[in-house]
Structure 1
Amino acid sequence: MKNEFLTIRFMKLKSLFLLLLLSNIAFAQLKTENYKIYNTQSKSICSLEDMIKSLVLADVVFFGEEHNDPTGHQLESDVLQKLHQLNGKKQTLSMEMFEKDIQQVMNEYLQNLIREKNFIKEARAWNNYNDYKPMIEYAREKELAVIAANPPNRYVNLVTRKGLSALNPLDRSAKKWLPPLPIDTATGAYYKNFLKTMGGHTVPGMEIYQSQNLWDSGMAHSIFQYLKKNKGDKVFHILGRFHSDEKLGTMAKLLKYNAGLKLSNISSFSDKSFNEPDWSKFSHLGDFVIITNPDLKRTF
């Protein structure tokens, strides 16, 4: 019986090792011909290394992604690792993909106290968690902090249904997961972009747009709180690119909390013009624009 148990355990460990090996091989297949980086300040194509030289000067770097772009996900992990090599223990990872009320679960996993399957379940990980797993595992290996930045979805949904005023009756224990109320709803360019994303139609009652502003304010306040407690640290924040394109959304909210922060942003997405992009159409989106091969983009 004992030998049988040891054999089964060995086979499980062997399978796990092979899975990790295959995962690492797949992750290593990032090819430079599948992405192009454009420096909007110098108006020129640049290398990943040149981009890092600029990003390392920022207090907070925003990587605006498309959630179903595997090349973008691989680049995120590369950028995190390269920033960490330069910033050391001061480097922190922050993610839209995890909600603020699971921060303890995140910390327990990073400290190797709980199993991955418990982490995935209790942290309410996204269905495409494997896209973000390399960054989480890197942070765990290198003992880097990870900020679960998003306000809890139940409150975002509440605002979507009933508007921002629906947050007012929540008690103090609930509001600790939220940014300070009331929340300013950005207008102007950000609202126009939101309407464009919604198909160009006016949003009845504005509740959906208000929930978008809660989302942005929540992520911004999570980063602000962390940096207030950990002065001198650097944050690499992963989020959907709508939240940071044109330095609006979350970026604008963060500067309202601390106008002295130096911020940089990347807008990364696949585009059918990949072979011959007209960069003038994209240069307003961020400090760096990354276009990836659209043939590799997934559908959920």
Structure 2
Amino acid sequence: MKKLFLLIALSVFCPFFSQQFKAYQFYNKKGKPIKSEKMIKQLANYQVVLFGELHNNAIVHWLQLKLTQALYKKNNKQITLGGEMFERDNQYQLDQYLAGRFPSSALGDSVRLWPNYTTDYKPLLDFAKNHQLKFIATNIPRKYASQVAKKGLDYLENLSVEEKAYMVKLPIKITMDTPGYQEMKTLFEKHDAHFNVTNFIAAQAIKDASMAESIFKNLKPGYLFIHYNGNYHTQAYGGIFWYIKQMYPNLKVAVISVFESENPKLPIPKTDYIPTDFNLIIPTDMAKTY
């Protein structure tokens, strides 16, 4: 009787306890909620999974790790990992760490690590290390992309053969038909008429194409390649996805996109929403790692 009275009192005087808090919700391409178990089963049928992220969002990084762990089991341990946050000229150092040839404390001395590496990417890298998996540094070194943003793609033609090995084979195709690029162009022209949008999009394209090529070159029969990248690199099937499909149209590639919502029930966004294969909705006020 006392327990019943307490429950009634809590429901009447403390509505806080009756509220439901959701940290995330996955939806499929048709806008229907999908359970993680079903999503994992479907993802295991692809050759590549592109997991878009908000770089500083804690729940997204946790879900990346959980999804990776689940797909490792589902795909009989046959997975390869890769990410935007590691650059191709650091692959040797990354391999040395994965092989246990130098400690974690030394990695930052030889690899350009992002500020949130320890909280957000180290768990993924250590999962690869602990399970003898490959982790591919897929991105073009940022110094080259930065110069493209300033000087254009012609800058790359003057690089050495060794330097060109760290990026996609030139020349690359750049078109405003690629999802996201036209929106990017419109956005920057609206805010700064003097900004060189053409060069900026070229820098974005050289990143996308380099990551796509890195994934394509490291595919293995029977293996699932899981790639972690900023949401804008794959949203609406643009960027990396678009370039992969240019290289190998028949490759089975799944895209996971992420969107924020102020609604605690985490519904599908009503505006600026172009669904991909799987769509992750998270609270706008979710904890940030920087």
Which bracket does the TM-score occupy, shorter chain normalised? Answer: 0.7 to 0.9
| Inter-partner Cα distance in structure 1 for 2:233 and 2:21 | 26
Give 5+ residue unaligned stretches, structure 2: 1-19
In structure 2, give the amino acid aligned to 1:272.
Answer: E
Q: Measured at CA, do residues 106 and 58 of structure 1 come closer, stay the same or move farther in structure 2, by a change above 3 Å?
A: same
Q: Measured at CA, do residues 32 and 240 of structure 1 come closer, stay the same or move farther in structure 2, by a change above 3 Å?
A: farther
- Which is higher, the Rg of structure 1 or of structure 2? 2
Q: 1:234 aligns with which of 218, 224, 228?
A: 224
In 2, are the aligned partners of 1:271 and 1:293 still within 8 Å (CA)? yes
Give 3-state SS (helix, strand or coil) of 1:296's partner.
coil
Structure whose residues are more often helix by fraction: 1
User: Are residue 215 (structure 1) and residue 207 (structure 2) matched?
Assistant: yes
In 1, are the aligned partners of 2:79 and 2:223 still within 8 Å (CA)? yes
Instruction: Report the RMSD for the aligned CA atoms in angstroms.
Output: 2.0
User: Are residue 134 (structure 1) and residue 123 (structure 2) matched?
Assistant: yes
User: Are residue 67 (structure 1) and residue 55 (structure 2) matched?
Assistant: yes
In 2, are the aligned partners of 1:103 and 1:148 still within 8 Å (CA)? yes
CA-CA distance at 1:286 after TM superposition:
1.1
User: Are residue 250 (structure 1) and residue 243 (structure 2) matched?
Assistant: no
In 1, are the aligned partners of 2:89 and 2:141 still within 8 Å (CA)? yes
CA-CA distance at 1:193 after TM superposition:
2.5
CA-CA distance at 1:154 after TM superposition:
1.0
In structure 2, give the amino acid aligned to 1:133.
Answer: K
In 2, are the aligned partners of 1:65 and 1:269 still within 8 Å (CA)? no
1:84-163 correspondence to structure 2 within 5 Å: 84-129=72-117, 130-163=119-152
| Inter-partner Cα distance in structure 1 for 2:76 and 2:98 | 17
In structure 2, give the amino acid aligned to 1:193.
Answer: E
List structure 1 runs of 4+ shifted beyond 6 angstroms: none
In the alignment, which residue of structure 1 is the partner of 2:14? none
Cα deviation digits, residues 201-251 of structure 1 (max 9, x gap): 565251111000000001001011111xx3332100000000101111110
In 2, are the aligned partners of 1:186 and 1:213 still within 8 Å (CA)? no
Q: Measured at CA, do residues 274 and 255 of structure 1 come closer, stay the same or move farther in structure 2, by a change above 3 Å?
A: farther
In 1, are the aligned partners of 2:185 and 2:197 still within 8 Å (CA)? no
Q: Measured at CA, do residues 108 and 298 of structure 1 come closer, stay the same or move farther in structure 2, by a change above 3 Å?
A: same
In 2, are the aligned partners of 1:72 and 1:269 still within 8 Å (CA)? no
Provide TM-score, normalisation by structure 2. Answer: 0.86
CA-CA distance at 1:32 after TM superposition:
8.4
In 1, are the aligned partners of 2:49 and 2:226 still within 8 Å (CA)? yes
In 2, are the aligned partners of 1:283 and 1:289 still within 8 Å (CA)? no
| Inter-partner Cα distance in structure 1 for 2:148 and 2:116 | 25
User: Are residue 297 (structure 1) and residue 284 (structure 2) matched?
Assistant: no
In 2, are the aligned partners of 1:157 and 1:211 still within 8 Å (CA)? yes
| Inter-partner Cα distance in structure 2 for 1:50 and 1:199 | 42
Aligned residue pairs: how many? 267
| Inter-partner Cα distance in structure 1 for 2:190 and 2:71 | 38
| Inter-partner Cα distance in structure 2 for 1:238 and 1:96 | 6
Give 5+ residue unaligned stretches, structure 1: 1-30
In the alignment, which residue of structure 1 is the partner of 2:250? 260
Give 3-state SS (helix, strand or coil) of 1:93's partner.
strand
In 1, are the aligned partners of 2:26 and 2:33 still within 8 Å (CA)? yes
Give 3-state SS (helix, strand or coil) of 2:254's partner.
strand
Q: Measured at CA, do residues 51 and 205 of structure 1 come closer, stay the same or move farther in structure 2, by a change above 3 Å?
A: closer
Q: Measured at CA, do residues 103 and 187 of structure 1 come closer, stay the same or move farther in structure 2, by a change above 3 Å?
A: same
Give 3-state SS (helix, strand or coil) of 1:63's partner.
strand
User: Are residue 191 (structure 1) and residue 191 (structure 2) matched?
Assistant: no
Give 3-state SS (helix, strand or coil) of 1:95's partner.
strand
Q: Measured at CA, do residues 196 and 82 of structure 1 come closer, stay the same or move farther in structure 2, by a change above 3 Å?
A: farther
Bigger drift between 190-199 and 81-90 goes to: 190-199
In structure 2, give the amino acid aligned to 1:221.
Answer: E
In 2, are the aligned partners of 1:282 and 1:289 still within 8 Å (CA)? no
CA-CA distance at 1:269 after TM superposition:
3.4
